[in-house]
Structure 1
Amino acid sequence: MSHLCHLKMVGISTIIKISMLRLKMLFRSYRFTSDEIRRQSLISLSDSFS
């Protein structure tokens, strides 16, 4: 019984770790794309002003 409980805890913690990693990756890529979009819009803005 305790062995099963331990397995369940390990599985849950592993799932949490994986989902946290995925969230981190998503957040990083989102930040990168938003930075890219901001840079592109800034470039187009300066182009239209010049």
Structure 2
Amino acid sequence: MSNKTEPLGVCPECETELQSHQTLIEYETTEGDTGRFVDCYSCGEVVKPE
């Protein structure tokens, strides 16, 4: 297993880059994509990365 973190996008609230290790919930969308809810350490919100 790698120790590297993967960027997932940015927080829609504070625009901080979000990393894969911040993922709280991962799910499959109806389109077959992977969706995530992520804990933003900067603003303290649970967000969907953009």
Greater strand content: 2
User: What TM bracket, shorter-length normalisation?
Assistant: under 0.3
Greater helix content: 1
- Higher-Rg member (1/2): 1
Report the TM-score, using the length of structure 2 for normalisation: 0.18
